[in-house]
Amino acid sequence: MTRTAIAAVLLMAVAQARTTRDGVYTEAQAKRGADVYEKACASCHAPDLSGSGHAPPLADVDFAKEWDAQPLSDLFERIRTTMPADAPGTLKSAEVADVMAFLLSKARIPAGSTELPSDAAALKTITYAAPKGDDFGTIPVTRLR
């Protein structure tokens, strides 16, 4: 490969790498996700995402730390294969993406004009970038709803 070709490949890889701060979901998608969350997730994770019993919170600093710098494909696969706890693997891929959009919206990660993809391969190119400081970490979970 020539230097020019290598540079072009590297440039394309950098251009394709995005984070959740790049507006990777839409508000409409997050609204659909809220409906799915209410039906399939809230009974364990609580309506305000604060968690309950064995179900962890989905909108706190620990959640942000766990997923920070991870590809969204990892979160997608975790939800797709293990949730809801009483019927793992029953959510459609589009529903999983919608729930993820809802979670991002509750973390005050800004929406954009393109929907979050509903396949793991496309989500590998998007990294979760945890909100910082006043954007998230100091906000009590009860104020996120």
User: Number of structural domains, the chain?
Assistant: 1
Distance CA 35, CA 102 (A): 9
- pLDDT given for residue 132 in this prediction: 77
Can you give the CATH number for the domain in which 133 is found?
Answer: 1.10.760.10
Maximum distance among all alpha carbons in the chain? 57
- pLDDT given for residue 17 in this prediction: 85
Q: Is residue 13 part of a domain?
A: no
Give strand pairing partners of 71: 127
CB-CB contact of 130 with 65 (8 Å): yes
Q: What's the whole-model pTM score?
A: 0.82
Q: Is residue 134 part of a domain?
A: yes
Helix, strand, coil share of the chain (percent; to 5): 55, 5, 40
Q: Is residue 24 part of a domain?
A: yes
Show pLDDT as tens, one digit a residue, over the chain (145 residues): 666 655 444 444 444 589 999 999 999 999 999 999 999 999 999 999 999 989 999 999 999 999 999 999 999 999 999 999 999 999 999 999 999 999 999 999 999 999 999 999 999 999 999 987 655 543 444 434 3
Q: Is residue 60 part of a domain?
A: yes
CB-CB contact of 96 with 77 (8 Å): no
Q: Is residue 72 part of a domain?
A: yes
- pLDDT given for residue 133 in this prediction: 64
Q: Is residue 12 part of a domain?
A: no
- pLDDT given for residue 22 in this prediction: 97
Q: Is residue 50 part of a domain?
A: yes
- pLDDT given for residue 38 in this prediction: 98
φ, ψ (nearest 5 deg) of residue 52: -165, 145
For residue 57, cis peptide bond before it (omega within 30 degrees of 0): no
CB-CB contact of 142 with 128 (8 Å): no
Domain holding 44, by residue range, is 19-143
- pLDDT given for residue 85 in this prediction: 95
Determine the Cα angle at 47 with ends 80 and 59, to 5°.
65
Q: Is residue 8 part of a domain?
A: no
Residue type, 47: P
